[in-house]
A and B are shown apart, each in its own frame.
Chain A
């Protein structure tokens, strides 16, 4: 069944290939892509219902024995299943968000997003480190092409290049580490690696190499430069995928590789990680306060939220790790929603992303403003949203490890309120800007997209046990006995 998840988007893109580009075929192509991704989503829900939360074993395991150079087997456990679900959920959202704006090269746009879905799901489900690397990297060229072809900014080529170079530079070290690890263990299979005892000094080197790759992807300070550029210049769907799922590849990498395979080094380096994460939180928050480009602002705010995620994940407590995963998911819902609000709804109507040009939107767009307000609040982490639980659990977890880290991490509570509410207030309230023509409120499509991102945020915020129940067992295997 898991392999179906990987195959269906590819089948969808196969269907798209023979369709000729043309205005008459556009709605057909969009429908094919959307239906494919929705089928995949429904299938992943079914997968989740079938999931047995009482074991930490890999489930739905499927092996491709035909391949010889690596061990191509796939499976999910409690840690990866939610990332798979997030990917299958975000892809139709991304397609819907850019439903009407892409007219040129539409076919390849749709194909690249379907392909991205397969590749990302593959990262989360493969059970082999080398394959993990391959899929982890394979996301890059696709997204690179998406930014260059469909991006909107003036220096989109430079942004795409930076995005590519940054992530690729880090991954180079990861590749070396993987080669060394598979040389040492004799296999790159997850289960074999996790059974193998590696001495601390080699763990440290391997850990640093992996950490560099994931830190760039997260991104942690000082490797944050690519994120806001990539966000600002990529098309809306690209931003959604980037914020919603690509950043979560790093979260998954921390959990799967660093904590699971290199526990001693993780324990050894955790003060380093905490320091970097704290610097990231405060640094990114302060930088967010003065951003004038709405998309860059939300990109910076994601950086600071990912800092909290890292704090939680490296806390070595169940609350912290579960909080980190919850916050990752919450960020995967809320950040795309905010991108849709500012980069989609507002940008499509006004043609600008500069905060100072827009004012008083509530006059013409009350329904939109309500949704925008709720998402802004979720971004600041108010109770009843999943973000709140994620943030609190992460910080509660890190308190047990290091109270000062929790205190400094909590400054994000104030700073996130400052920049989020500034953005919301500035765009929505005040007298209606004389530079703007009367605008239409959100359309049915935008409403459906936003509401479908809102529902999981709130429902899981009120009853997170839906997720937590299947996390417990898998997360407890990640704990390190000091």
Chain B
């Protein structure tokens, strides 16, 4: 059963991709959706067996690499962490497959699209179920490749091409870090199996552990779009919206989180790495939320919101609350997929208009979409008893209860980010649904609610966004819950759940919620009730400057284009033109042939045909000969052997340069 969870999506992908012409569009729809739904059902069983009944499964297939003491095998591990990842991946993938049937109905490349989606699911499952770092890496790279293909789905568009290349290469930077991490892991532990590494990590030098943890984090940073390696994610919004929902919100970007949570037994023994992770996570959350404030593209707003939420998750890892991070991964997957699919429904019905300034007043046209977007938004900003409340607010509380500098930094930024999140969420709702219509009339004439194939996935995701946190929070993050068993390791010193629950002042506990409500209120106020605020702020020089800065996304892209890519290409040019085809050529082959030619022509010039010159040569030659013969007498005999060579050389040189 466990392997068929993996194989079913792969089978669907293979058949619909390679035999797409034979099975047709409908065939591809039916096949991939059936495979995915079957896999989801099996995953539910596995969640029951492994997760709730607590019996992890390990499956050994065959040996992969066997070289001296290096032994890596195709081995799969289905423990609580794996099945907890299976649930969001497979459920969301299934609903997105169904949603895409309608979304892509007018596209000529349906089979290709569904093949990619299923292939992505397969690699994601492989990533979550590998029992060593190499098998995990297969899935890790696989999702990167499929992400490239999906961003490039509309392959004739230059923007898609650019975004796809950026996504792939930027992820490769993380892969490089991760690969170096593997080398270090292997050199220190002599193995890449989770079981060996995790059982040995308490006994390893802390510096070594820190280096490994930071390298692993580098990989996670690229995949999970953390500050510095984030700029591929907004670009990837060029992909069709279901792709954004599945890959760039719900699952692919959480691969980095999965890696960190999986590596908890390593991270826990390095306080330095945890410190770095906390700082990066909190900064990312804040950075992305501020950027989200000023954007106008509906998909980009949700993308930056994703980066921000990923920052929260990384922050939770940094304060050693892996189960909370995982809970937020799952919750976020549901409500963010909902937001994206809702945005997709809006874009689709509003004639592909993505600019929120050109929408507006959509409530009467799209009541259902409005409701699900609202549900998604308030779940995102963590209104009590919706799913975000059980994970996001908990992360912020837990950050306060650690009482360290980095955790307090995380608490402050996390709380502010909560307010900002609410602001941009309600800005989006205000501009898109409330107020007056701002688009052209012909668009509005044709707006209609999508058909039932779209409504069912949205409805399912809305249900999950509302209830998942309430139902499963005690299982995942409840005090004393041993759901994760040995899949997650938290050092006893780092457990702060009790502290967070019982000893924080109530005001500090409620601060994120209060800020959320304030932010949301401000968003409604500025964009809906009193637009004078906008006009006032537009006149301020300072706010204009801030706006430009935020709109440039802290100028990261400028930095990269100018200093990394520009310099790289410049160096490539210098190497290729100045060195490889310049200096080396001039010294090497060209130089050699020139020298030989010149020397030859010079020697040829000696042949003048004048008798006096020849007599000079004869005299010179005779003299040299005499000198050579009598040199032992003239020079010290001990120097003889070397000196004779030098003299021959000198005399020939003189002759040549005549």
A and B found bound together: yes
- Using a CB–CB distance below 8 Å, which chain A residues touch chain B? 162, 165-166, 222-225, 283, 286-291, 317-319, 322, 360, 362-363, 377, 380, 382-384, 389, 392-393, 395-396, 399-400, 403, 406-407, 410-411, 413-414, 417-418, 421-422, 425, 428-432, 462-465, 468-469, 472, 476
In the bound complex, what is the Cα–Cα distance between A383 and B571 (angstroms)?
29
Q: Which of B66, B138, B588, B589 contacts A383 (CB 8 A)?
A: B138
- Given the interface pairs A392-B182, A430-B155, the reply to whether A289 lies near B67 with Cβ below 8 Å is no
In the bound complex, what is the Cα–Cα distance between A386 and B575 (angstroms)?
30
- Using a CB–CB distance below 8 Å, which chain B residues touch chain A? 62-68, 70, 74, 134, 137-138, 141-142, 145, 148, 152, 155-156, 158, 160-161, 164-165, 168-169, 172-173, 175-176, 179-180, 182-184, 186-187, 568-569, 571-573, 575-576, 579-581, 584-585, 588-589
Query: How far in angstroms is the closest Cβ of chain A from B14?
Result: 12
Q: How many A-B residue pairs have CB under 8 A?
A: 140
Query: How far in angstroms is the closest Cβ of chain B from A191?
Result: 25
Per CB-CB distance, the 9 closest pairs between chain A and chain B, nearest first, are: A318-B68, A417-B172, A383-B138, A399-B183, A429-B155, A286-B572, A287-B576, A290-B572, A289-B572
B589 touches A411 (CB 8 A): no
B155 touches A403 (CB 8 A): no
Chain B residues, CB < 8 A from A431: 156
B64 touches A464 (CB 8 A): yes
In the bound complex, what is the Cα–Cα distance between A364 and B306 (angstroms)?
37
Contact residues of A: prevailing secondary structure? helix
Give the one of A319, A363, A382, A464 with max B CB within 10 A.
A382
Q: A290-B576, A468-B65 are in contact. List 15 more A-B contacts (CB 8 A).
A: A222-B588, A223-B588, A224-B580, A319-B68, A362-B155, A382-B141, A382-B142, A383-B137, A393-B70, A396-B70, A407-B180, A410-B179, A414-B172, A429-B156, A463-B64
A225 touches B580 (CB 8 A): yes
In the bound complex, what is the Cα–Cα distance between A343 and B501 (angstroms)?
67
Q: Which of A317, A393, A421 contacts B165 (CB 8 A)?
A: A421
Query: How far in angstroms is the closest Cβ of chain B from A160?
Result: 12
- Report the nearest A residue to B186, measured CB to CB: A396
Query: How far in angstroms is the closest Cβ of chain A from B309?
Result: 27
A465 touches B575 (CB 8 A): no
5 A-B pairs whose Cβ atoms sit less than 8 Å apart in the complex: A222-B584, A222-B588, A403-B187, A417-B169, A429-B161
Q: Which of B148, B176, B184 contacts A414 (CB 8 A)?
A: B176
B165 touches A425 (CB 8 A): yes
Chain B residues, CB < 8 A from A413: 172, 175-176, 179
Query: How far in angstroms is the closest Cβ of chain B from A420?
Result: 10
Q: Which of A165, A289, A463 contacts B569 (CB 8 A)?
A: A289
Chain B residues, CB < 8 A from A468: 65-67
Chain A residues, CB < 8 A from B66: 465, 468-469
In the bound complex, what is the Cα–Cα distance between A411 and B571 (angstroms)?
15
In the bound complex, what is the Cα–Cα distance between A395 and B176 (angstroms)?
12
Query: How far in angstroms is the closest Cβ of chain A from B21?
Result: 10
A464 touches B572 (CB 8 A): no
Q: Which of B67, B74, B580, B589 contacts A287 (CB 8 A)?
A: B580
- Given the interface pairs A399-B187, A410-B176, A410-B180, the reply to whether A165 lies near B67 with Cβ below 8 Å is no
B179 touches A465 (CB 8 A): no
A414 touches B569 (CB 8 A): no
In the bound complex, what is the Cα–Cα distance between A224 and B585 (angstroms)?
10
- Given the interface pairs A287-B575, A411-B176, the reply to whether A162 lies near B67 with Cβ below 8 Å is no
Query: How far in angstroms is the closest Cβ of chain B from A343?
Result: 20
- Report the nearest A residue to B168, measured CB to CB: A421
Chain B residues, CB < 8 A from A465: 63-66
- Given the interface pairs A392-B179, A421-B168, A429-B156, the reply to whether A225 lies near B575 with Cβ below 8 Å is no
A291 touches B580 (CB 8 A): no
